[in-house]
Every structure is written in C-alpha cells, then in structure tokens.
Amino acid sequence: MSAVPPLPHDAPGNIPNYLVWSILSTIGSFILCCLICLTFPGIITGIVAIVFSTQVNGKLNQGDIEGAKRASKNAKLWNWITTGILILAVAISVIWFIAVGPDAYMEYMEQLRQQMEQQQGG
C-alpha cells in the first residue's frame, strides 16, 4: 500500500487568497455606507484587500511563493481591518439607536439622506 505524503505547510495550495472574504467585506461596507454612512473607510480597505487577494494566485502562477505569502498575509490584514470597521460601525449604530430612540435615529438618517441627495444634485 502506498500512502501519499502530506503536503508541506507552505505548499502553494495551502496559501489562501481570502478573495471571498475580501469581496463580502467590501460589499458589506458599501451596503452599510449607504445605510448608516459610517463605513466609507471600509470600502477603501476592502478594495485594498481585494487587490492583495487577487495578487496571491498570480504570484503562485509565476512561482513566487514568498510573494504569494506576503500578498496573502496583507489580504488577511486588510480583511480584518475592514471587518473591524464594519463591526464598529454596526455597534455604534446600535448603541446610538438604543440611546436616542427610534424616532430620533430615523430623523437623523433622513437628514443624512437629504444631505447626500443635495450634494449629488448640486
């Protein structure tokens, strides 16, 4: 019986690209930015995460294992930053909603929406 030896920890197939996480966190930031106007930085950091995520496979295809590892590490870092921004924005929004009540919260959201429409229109 022949057993297949396990892949080494740093084998090319074991370097994650985090692309799905990058895309989902960026989309989440975009959606929340439209709803609560607190996650605009999350869109930027999410795009940075996507850039690093897409570099991983390209570097692996070129045989640049160390470059792929660096890109993977950077993608993971920027994903955590984006996720942190999302969590912080949601937490602030929930605490604010609880503190001021639903009527004041909705009134403020309507004011923000009107301001954004004025900026886009004028």
Q: What is the pLDDT of residues 45-95, one digit of tens each?
A: 999 999 999 999 999 999 999 999 999 999 999 999 999 988 988 888 888
What are the start-end ranges of the H helices in 2-101? 19-36, 40-61, 65-100
Cα separation, 33 vs 21, in Å, equals 18
pLDDT band at 4 (very low <50, low <70, confident <90, very high): very low
Q: What is the pLDDT of residue 6?
A: 41
pTM value is 0.73
Average pLDDT, the chain: 84
Cα separation, 34 vs 59, in Å, equals 35
Amino acid (one-letter) located at 66 = E
Q: What is the pLDDT of residue 61?
A: 93
48 with 71: CB under 8 angstroms?
Answer: no
